[in-house]
Amino acid sequence: MNALGILAFAVAMLLSIMLHEAGHFLTARHYGMKATQFFVGFGPTIWSRTKGETEYGVKAVPLGGFVKIIGMTPLEPVEPGDEDRVFYKRKTWPRFVVLVAGSTVHFLICLVLIFLAVLTLGVPQPSAPILSKPADCVPLSVPLKGDSASSAKFSSVDSSGQCAGRAAGQAKAAKFQTGDRVVSVNGTKIDTYTQLTTVVRANAGHDLAVVVLRHGKDVTLHVTPIPVERYPLTGANSVDTTKAVPVGAIGITQDPTVLKHVGIVDAVPETGRQLSTIVSGTWTTITTKLGSIAGIYGPNRDPNGLVGLVGAGRISGEVFALPVPFSYTLLNFLFIIASLNLFVGVFNLLPLLPLDGGHIAVVFFEGVRDRIKRARGYVGDVIHVDYNKLMPLTFAVVALFVTATVWILGADIVNPIKLGQ
């Protein structure tokens, strides 16, 4: 695990929270509300400076931040002279804008990060037939599920570096190189790595003329797959590990770290595709993964299930520790931060107090009720929701969130999700 990745994650999330609060702060100021504090962190104040009517500062515990807008509810005391600048006295639309500004900032951060990552780093090519470094040796068979001797039987290499119990890699002998993109095999066009795998497996003992794109030029290589035993393919990315079948192999694998660079015009639809993937993952987490919280301490913890900030930080550290090009590392890191911003933005809009979504629900309830009353002839002041009656529910939600946070935090420490799990 890489400390740089953990530190980068912590800084990125702290900046995201600061920008979230800045969204509330700037929109509140725009509508004439009074914001008396803008702080990073919680707890004792380390440093602060008052500029105008707002105190800006840093507190000791860097786990978030806050903006103090006076009169968020009628329960809060207000200094004399500030009665007309309180939040709750503003009309429905200004209050809605201020409340939704935080989540809007998270959505913008997500979109901007994806666009900049795609434009400057490129996009992954999960199905492209781009090759990694050719293997020195090719296993003649594979371990079957439940084979207790698998590690020694199928992975041995002798001390002299020879292929003990294995065959020499045919791809290496044929001069394949890292980054080669397969164009065709025996004249048949190859568009995906799955196609290449299928052709190689079906041609044990037969010479293959493989055309690869290398440094912008087509190069023809000849290779003969050797007979081996492998798991049968049951799908594009799945195999049946309970049996082995005879196939051909040459000792080559796909390089998933090669990125395709795109221009600013193509970056727009690519951003949409990446955003769609992240939105789909977020929706799955919210709608189907919440049930996995009960099993996060078990041996079969869902690797795509819920994680807290500690777990996400650990994953970021592992991303930085992977032996892959830095551009690929940075791309994955930016996608992690983008995904978390999208999740936080959506979660914050849930109609539950004390989340912004809970306050938005109150604002709209007051607005709808006021319109109905005025349509019936009411001419007095807006009747505000009695927050005292909502306090028990608010405390229950806070207790639930705290419990879930501590529960996930514990699992992230003692039973963490790891990359490749």
Report how far residue 413's alpha carbon sits from residue 12's, in angstroms, rounded to the nearest whole number. 21
Cβ atoms < 10 Å from Cβ of 185: 21
Buried b (16+ CB within 10 A) or exposed e, 218-254: eeebebebbebebbebeeeeeeeeeebeebbbbbbeb
**Residue 234 φ/ψ, nearest 5 degrees:** -115, 0
- What is the secondary structure of 174-209 as a DSSP string? TT--TT-EEEEETTEE--SHHHHHHHHHTTTTS-EE
Q: Helices H, strands E: what count in the chain?
A: 10, 14
DSSP state, residue 87: S
List 21, 83, 270, 366, catalytic entry: 21
Contact 200, 221 (CB under 8 A): no
- What is the secondary structure of 300-340 as a DSSP string? T--TTS---HHHHHHHHHHHHHSSS-HHHHHHHHHHHHHHH
Report how far residue 345's alpha carbon sits from residue 352's, in angstroms, rounded to the nearest whole number. 14
10 Å CB burial of residue 200 (0-12, 13-18, 19+) is buried
Q: Which amino acid is at 207?
A: D
Contact 365, 384 (CB under 8 A): no
Buried b (16+ CB within 10 A) or exposed e, 385-410: bebeebeeeeeebeeeeeeeeebbee
Q: Which two tokens stand for residue 109?
A: 């951060």
Is 21 tagged catalytic?
yes
**Residue 323 φ/ψ, nearest 5 degrees:** -80, 65
Q: Give the contacts of 134 (CB within 8 A, at least 6 positions apart).
A: 169, 171, 172, 176, 177, 178, 251, 252
So which residues are the catalytic ones?
A: 21
